[in-house]
Amino acid sequence: MSAHANLSPVIDEDALLREMTMPSANDEAVAPVEEERAPLAPVAERLRVDAPTHAEAESLPIRSQHSDLAAIHDLERQAREWRVVARVAEHHLKQLVAAQDARDGAYRSLAEIAADVERTAEQLSEALNVYNKGDLSHDLDGVFEESGHVLAGLEKIVGELSVANALCRSAWQAHARSLRDEQNLRATIQGSQHG
């Protein structure tokens, strides 16, 4: 046994590969996230193929052993960072879907109340035409009241739609940002794989 044997920890390559390609016990098994983790498998496989055996490691100079360890630690760090970024992107996607659902619901409400606005506008126009012809028997006050109530509902829905639209935009921006971060980190990992 050489003097350098104690400086070289034994690395369980299978465990490293599992750690980099499998979700942790707390992760949900989500297919898109698993597909995104696929680029890490060739990196780990390259380490498995290129990594020296224990006997070869003992014969390597200390500098070579340390650079191999540094590369492995850097790869492990990048894999952890990538998993975090992928989870953030997944979380932002859920927020975006919820914001889109809220926005779609507000638009449905707008379509429903638009029909009521049109109906009450026609009723009010007819009542005013009858009044202008001299017929004072219609209760214009009730028609104005209903029209005002519907218009107040329209105003409320337009406000809700504005908020839903702003939330949807914010969720989209956060998701787009997290996807860019994930793609940049993936490119870095793939670059270190080929470097």
Spatial separation of the C-alpha atoms in residues 171 and 155, rounded to whole Å: 24
The pLDDT of residue 1:
43
Closest CA to 146 of 123, 168, 172, 165: 123
Per the CB < 8 A criterion, the answer to whether 168 and 99 are in contact is: yes
Spatial separation of the C-alpha atoms in residues 112 and 109, rounded to whole Å: 5
135 by Cβ neighbours in 10 Å (0-12 / 13-18 / 19+) ranks as exposed
Q: What is the pLDDT of residues 88-106, one digit of tens each?
A: 999 999 999 999 999 999 9
The pLDDT of residue 58:
54
The pLDDT of residue 138:
76
The pTM of the whole model exceeds 0.85: no
CATH number for the domain formed by residue range(s) 5-194: 1.10.287
Instruction: Give pLDDT < 70 ranges for the chain.
Output: 1-67, 193-195
What H or E segment, with its residue span, contains residue 14?
helix 13-21
Spatial separation of the C-alpha atoms in residues 10 and 72, rounded to whole Å: 12
Token duo for residue 147: 């029209």
Query: What rounded mean pLDDT belongs to the chain?
Result: 76
Spatial separation of the C-alpha atoms in residues 28 and 1, rounded to whole Å: 45
Spatial separation of the C-alpha atoms in residues 55 and 1, rounded to whole Å: 9
Per the CB < 8 A criterion, the answer to whether 143 and 123 are in contact is: yes
